[in-house]
Amino acid sequence: MKLIETTVVEAFGKGAYQEYRIPAIVVTEKKTLLVAYESRMEAGNDWAEVDLTVRRSLDGGKRFEPAIYPAKKINCGPKGDKVTWSNPVLIADHELIHLLFHLNYERAWYCYSLDEGKTFSEPVEITDTFRNLPWEWNVCASGPGHGIVSCTGKLVVPVWLALGKVHNDKEKTGRIKDHFPSAAGCIYSDDRGKHWQAGFMTQGIENANETTVVERRDGSFLFNFRNERYEKCRVLGIADPYLSGLRRVWSETKLPDPTCFGSMVRAGKFICFVNCANADPEYLYASRIHLTVYLSRDEGLTWERVELVDENGGYADITADENGLYVFYEKGISGKVDSLQLKKFLW
């Protein structure tokens, strides 16, 4: 792989917000790059005042158009209440761009674009789909990152739920809750986003949460879980084509992980994965360093390192086209997310 482009999309403390986090990226059939992320009024606070942000690039990521904020169309309560929009998930689906996101980690929303991400439809609430998942929760989230379209047209979105302790001491409304204990799973749509259905939920993976998925060539789905198991690595699982459950689960020691979000994408006959490849056993949340791209030639059964993206990383999402790979990620410096950067690699 050859690095040909690096773009700083957002930088800490610049613009109207203090911090920018939780990257998502897709590339459309017309080669439009779309990114989504959280624009936060405070640093280091998942429950800050947050706006869900979408930007697009028509030149392969060299320049991005001004931001749009699809969630601002929603009347979400009394004016002045703190609002956290979070966990954007993008899906590129021919002429449609799907977008899922969440309000205060307790309500889920969906909208779409028919003009390459220039505008989005009025969001509709899909929280009931999450209520139909077989797990009790008071915190819900999608992805983050991107979802996928299967070869049969099924939209698949990894999700996670938590039954967290409520912190009335931090906010009297009870809005702030722990993100654990948690479990991961998926939702899906068979009619291009008109209706969403509950898929499976994991069992036996400790605090499984932020997850990524690809379709395998036999029609099954490979899920890649962030977790808190002692091995300090990713946990992989293969689900049946109907998303009724996992038929195989294993700890993938070739993919070390500091308990951080990472992302997969199908790139032709290969599967690529990106994450911070650090597994310090002394820490539950190790340093987010060695942001690395891995490649699997056998549908996710074995992996090899192919590219160091950045020595200092964070959350990262990945997409691909016939020419190369795009990594949209948090660059960390001195314990904070310094910027959101996009790197483009040629095969």
Task: Note the pLDDT tens digit of each residue in 53-71.
Answer: 999 999 999 999 999 999 9
What are the tens digits of pLDDT across the range 112-170?
999 999 999 999 999 999 999 999 999 999 999 999 999 999 999 999 999 999 999 99
113 backbone φψ class: left, alpha, beta (φ>0; ψ -120 to 50): beta
pLDDT at 283: 76
- Asked whether 1 and 293 are in contact (CB, 8 A), the reply is yes
What are the tens digits of pLDDT across the range 290-332?
999 999 999 999 999 999 999 999 999 999 999 899 999 999 9
Structure tokens at 62: 């060299």
- Say whether 129 sits in a helix, a strand or coil: helix
User: Whole-angstrom Cα distance, residue 226 to residue 72?
Assistant: 30
User: Whole-angstrom Cα distance, residue 300 to residue 245?
Assistant: 18
Q: Residues 6 or more apart from 23 whose CB is under 8 A from it?
A: 35, 36, 37, 144, 145, 315, 316, 317, 328, 329, 330, 340
What are the tens digits of pLDDT across the range 228-284?
888 899 999 999 999 999 999 999 999 999 999 999 999 999 999 999 999 887 777
Q: The tokens 């998926």 sit on which residue?
A: 186
- Asked whether 83 and 49 are in contact (CB, 8 A), the reply is yes
User: Predicted confidence band at 39 (pLDDT cuts at 50, 70, 90)?
Assistant: very high
- Say whether 266 sits in a helix, a strand or coil: strand
Which domains does the chain show, CATH number per domain?
2-346 (2.120.10.10)
User: Whole-angstrom Cα distance, residue 78 to residue 253?
Assistant: 48
Residue 139's closest CA among 130, 152, 148, 151?
130
Q: The tokens 């997969």 sit on which residue?
A: 264
Widest Cα–Cα separation across the chain? 52
User: Whole-angstrom Cα distance, residue 2 to residue 181?
Assistant: 41
281 backbone φψ class: left, alpha, beta (φ>0; ψ -120 to 50): alpha
